[in-house]
Amino acid sequence: MNYGDRDPDQERRSGPRVAAETRFKMEYNYRSSPRWQIQNRESDRVLIIRLRLRDVKLETTHEIWFRRKPKLENFWQDPLVQHELDHVRISSDPRLRKRFLELVGKPGKIELTLEPTDKVDAAFVRQAVQKHVANSFDQVSELASIRYRELDRLTRHGRSPVPAEFQRDILDLPTPENASHDASPDSSETK
């Protein structure tokens, strides 16, 4: 966590002056050993890459900045601290990792129509796989960014409470409507 004034350039880039901000950084890693072949279809050459990805990881780190350091007493109950932790909850939601894994592995294969000048070798295939993984990553990262903006819009940057449907659907938190059901010892519902 950081406290205090920010660089004026940062203030201009971030829009209106805010009391706090949470930034996330997502990174991915994977190992790949794809198999590939070229097929001739009508007048096209098509590269078919069978994805064989393993050790796929998506890791997220956070930096929280406060203009003024929150008071230590009742730190965890401070509405601004709670709001920034809601941002952390969004970008560290395990459903984002699950979605990334689904997007990366979903097609099972990549098909590319080749240009007549394309020279297909291991480097060409590696680049195609990297592009596929990067596109999947960009979708997940953008989803987290959209949810950050939506949280700020709905709560006016933490000045209003989080609506129940956002708590339930996005933050995956119990709401008054489902809290008693979730706490029931014989509930068989899984999340």
Q: What is the pLDDT of residues 52-62, one digit of tens each?
A: 999 999 999 99
Q: Crossing angle for the helix pair 122-155 and 79-91, nearest 10 degrees?
A: 150
pLDDT for the residue numbered 165: 86
Q: Crossing angle for the helix pair 94-105 and 122-155, nearest 10 degrees?
A: 150
- Residues 6 or more apart whose CB falls under 8 angstroms from that of 20 comprise 64, 65, 66, 67, 80, 83, 84, 158
- Residues 6 or more apart whose CB falls under 8 angstroms from that of 76 comprise 82
Q: Model-level pTM?
A: 0.79
Token pair for residue 75?
């730190």
Q: Where are the beta strands (DSSP E) in the chain?
A: 2-3, 20-32, 35-41, 44-50, 53-66, 109-114
pLDDT tens by residue, 19-50: 899 999 999 999 999 999 999 988 899 999 99
pLDDT tens by residue, 157-166: 998 999 988 8
At residue 112, what are phi and psi to the nearest 5 degrees?
A: -125, 130
pLDDT tens by residue, 62-100: 999 999 999 999 999 999 999 999 999 999 999 999 999
173 band by pLDDT with thresholds 50, 70 and 90: low
